[in-house]
Amino acid sequence: MAHVHEVTIWARGVVQDKEGRDVSQIIALGAERENKFTQAFDDYEDLPDRVGVPVRKYSRISDEEIVMRYDYENENPEVVIVMEEAIVKGIDILRHMTVKGILVVNTKRPAADILKFIPNKDQLDKIVCVDAEEIAAGVATVDFSGSEGGVDATTLGAGISAPLVGAAMKASGLVAFENVEAVVMNKEALKRGFEEAVIEPAN
């Protein structure tokens, strides 16, 4: 059975719902351009989400058909993306992580300030910090389109999702830059996220 690459995205309910979903969709659509089998979906245990409550989104990528496609939680994420830095406090964001994974955090802070809140940081190979808020400044990130029962009326990757995907793909190499660029609206933010991401060893 082919290996399935799993990405887990942590976001804030409602206020980051659209951007969190964009991250999972961009990764999956970029991988589809490489003829991969993909999934992008929400964690149904988190729905209906409430304002500010941590919620999860997922992407999966494989060279073969994904046989676990009806499992509604990633069991072995190798990349975890955190869209708001305070989520790392008091939550096991690395749950089920494959040993030596990658953590990407939207933050202005240095990696050491984030790692001190992660008790199981020995599971990490790399930590990636990127100031996605600053990069996407001026782009509205509160968008209720695409929420449960709604229609996604805007394009993918207009706000903080673009630089976070850029940083994650730089660190992981899961999808080639040009393939995520092809599906992202804010290409400049994607590029800056890729170029400005600070990647450090976690241990």
Q: Label residue 149 by pLDDT band (50, 70, 90).
A: very low
Out of 47-61, 83-97, 148-162, the most confident range is: 83-97
The DSSP element (H or E) to which 43 belongs, if any, is none
In a 13 Å sphere around the CA of 33, the CA atoms on its Cβ side amount to 16
Alpha helices of 145-184 — where are they, by DSSP H? Answer: 161-172, 177-181
pLDDT of 160 higher than 90? yes
State the total domains in the chain: 1
Distances from the Cα of 83 to the Cα of 57, 132, 163, 177, angstroms: 11, 8, 11, 20
The DSSP element (H or E) to which 20 belongs, if any, is helix 17-32
pLDDT of 103 higher than 90? yes
Q: Label residue 192 by pLDDT band (50, 70, 90).
A: very high
DSSP 107: -
Domain that holds residue 142: 4-201
Kindly report whether the global pTM for this prediction surpasses the value 0.85.
Answer: yes
Task: Identify residue 153 by its one-letter amino acid code.
Answer: A
SS3 content of the chain, % helix, strand, coil (to 5): 30, 20, 45
Q: Which of 52-56, 104-108, 137-141, 163-167 is predicted least confidently?
A: 137-141
We report the CATH number of the domain holding residue 169 as 3.40.920.10
What CA–CA distance (Å, rounded) separates 146 from 107?
25
Q: 6: closest CA among 33, 32, 40, 54?
A: 40
